[in-house]
Structure 1
Amino acid sequence: MKSFLILALLYLAYVDWRTFRLPNVITLPLIFLGIVFNCVSDLSLTSPASALLGGILGYGSLWALNAGYRLLKNRNGIGMGDAKLLAALGAWLGLHSLPTILLIASITGLIGGIVWLKWNRHNVGNAFPFGPFLAFAGIIELLWPQLIQTLILPRLI
């Protein structure tokens, strides 16, 4: 199942990079499959409760962030496809994985955003696909769980 999740994430990253869209036809079933997989499989990646809470809080956190941004700027700051992708990652990998995924995606997205702006000569107000960085962070968390906590944080402290 890890291979299935990685392929789905790579596909979503590619689509978002090219179209600035994360299709519901992929993200919504991915949320459902993550919860079901963790409820019925002997190879589950997290507990059923953590999968359900990961899905809810994955979506809810980016929804709340966007709602706050919309109140300040009167426009969306992040697409809800990104929120659905984070919900899918939370459903597959559990609630505990969300902070690490968001940290990795934010750092790589910041670096990627700077490169994107320089390469395409855009200004800061232009849209930028965040889904590829969420997918990348999800793959890292899937293959090397707790990488930040075990390898990087102890060296920083």
Structure 2
Amino acid sequence: MIYLAYIDWRTLRLPNAITLPLIFLGLSFNWASDLRLTTPSLAFVGAFLGYTVLWTLNAGYRLLKNRNGIGMGDAKLLAALGAWLGWNSLPGILLIATITGILGGLAWLQWRGHQLQQAFPFGPFLVIAGIIELLWPQLIPTFILSKSI
């Protein structure tokens, strides 16, 4: 995951040679291992929804702007996170990735001197969010949502 974040940061690409096996390994691990992170059915739905959510958002953006808004490598990375952690982790991952992505994206654009219309890597923020969700799965419900309600 860290390597994928590095590749995306440097090249704005998430290679299929890494993301697709990561999806397959997540599904296999949760199906075959006694140490599974989620049930096999939640992993399968997570992989499906992880890809579908970002694909749908991109399709809507493409209809409005006639260009892609997010790369499909990001969708495959979110599918991999869903395959490893289950579909119920996806809202937290997307929330954390979006917040850190906005802050990091503004810093990226300022540092690189780009305009707001230019691309920046979202994969590193998905990786950060996935690691947070893996290590502290109750972070959002416990610390963020409980204080805002």
TM-score (norm 2): 0.98
Number of aligned pairs? 149
In structure 2, the partner of 1:64 is 56
In structure 1, the partner of 2:32 is 40
Question: Is 1:30 paired with 2:25?
Answer: no
Deviates more, 1:110-119 or 1:90-99: 110-119
Distance in 1 (CA, whole Å) between partners of 2:17 and 2:137 is 27
Q: CA RMSD in A?
A: 0.6
TM-superposed deviation, 1:145: 0.8
| Equivalent residues in 2 for 1:1-157, closer than 5 Å | 9-157=1-149
- Report if aligned partners of 1:102, 1:134 keep a CA contact under 8 Å in 2: yes
Deviates more, 1:94-103 or 1:145-154: 145-154
Deviates more, 1:111-120 or 1:80-89: 111-120
Cα distance per residue 1:39-79 (max 9 Å; x no partner): 11111000100000000000000000000000111110000
Deviates more, 1:65-74 or 1:117-126: 117-126
Q: Determine helix, strand or coil for the equivalent of 2:121.
A: coil
Unaligned runs of 5+ in 2: none
* Percent identity (aligned): 72
TM-superposed deviation, 1:118: 1.3
TM-superposed deviation, 1:119: 1.2
In structure 2, the partner of 1:3 is none
TM-superposed deviation, 1:120: 1.3
What amino acid is the match of 1:61? V
Distance in 2 (CA, whole Å) between partners of 1:75 and 1:117 is 19
